[in-house]
């Protein structure tokens, strides 16, 4: 492997080393693959998490979503949680205000009965996140919950796109779909 020269290359190296597990697995989408990208091994890692936060902020800005265009980030628990926290901290280190939130799979049946936890998202511009995406199902479930909570969803973003249909599924909704790494960056085959 050539020497690492950019933050994206370093993140790809970390994800490849920490998170890619080879062997036959069934993905959340129900599809089978010869490898699994266990992103929690990277999103909760002391070096990878800050890179993820900064690189996703940079990617969003490259796609036209600067600090004044986004109020909060988050997605379906649990994959999106550390990604949102990394972005919140990266933004704060840049002197930017960016909140994070968590989307439950279903609204709580006690307490406030909320499906979206954290600062209120109603009327705010948000980005729906996930750590990795195969079909786009998780991030689109988050989009539905966020819209029901009154948020204006402006984009979807993931750390790793498996190049297996998520891009197309999100595109059908009219939302921009942004990622840092794909299977080519990780030297992996797409599992269409």
Classify residue 71 by its DSSP letter: S
Is 134 annotated as ligand-binding? Answer: yes
8 is in an annotated binding site: no
135 annotated as ligand-binding = yes
| Residue 16 in marked binding region | no
| H or E element at residue 61 | helix 48-62
| CA distance linking residue 12 with residue 82, whole number of Å | 17
| Closest to 91 in 3D by CA, of 50, 62, 124 | 50
| 54 annotated as ligand-binding | no
Residue corresponding to tokens 């779909």? 177
Structure tokens at 133: 């995406």
Q: Which positions make up the binding site for 5-phospho-alpha-D-ribose 1-diphosphate?
A: 104-105, 108, 110, 130-138
Q: Which positions make up the binding site for orotate?
A: 134, 162
Q: Which positions make up the binding site?
A: 104-105, 108, 110, 130-138, 162
């Amino acid at each position: 492997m050539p020497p690492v020269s950019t933050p994206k290359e370093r993140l790809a190296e970390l994800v490849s080393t920490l998170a890619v597990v080879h062997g036959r697995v069934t993905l959340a989408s129900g599809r089978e693959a010869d490898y699994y990208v266990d992103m929690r091994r990277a999103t909760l890692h002391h070096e990878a998490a800050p890179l993820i936060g900064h690189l996703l902020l940079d990617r969003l800005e490259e796609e036209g979503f600067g600090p004044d265009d986004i109020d909060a980030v988050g997605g379906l628990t649990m994959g999106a949680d550390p990604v949102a926290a990394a972005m919140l901290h990266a933004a704060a280190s840049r002197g930017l205000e960016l909140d994070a939130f968590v989307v439950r799979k279903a609204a709580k049946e006690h307490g406030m009965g909320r499906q979206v936890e954290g600062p209120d998202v109603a009327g705010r511009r948000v980005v729906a996140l996930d750590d990795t995406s195969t079909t786009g199902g998780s991030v689109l479930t988050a989009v539905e919950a966020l819209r029901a909570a009154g948020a204006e969803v402006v984009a979807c973003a993931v750390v790793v796109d498996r190049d297996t249909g998520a891009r197309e599924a999100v595109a059908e909704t009219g939302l921009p779909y942004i990622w840092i790494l794909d299977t080519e960056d990780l030297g992996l085959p797409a599992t269409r």
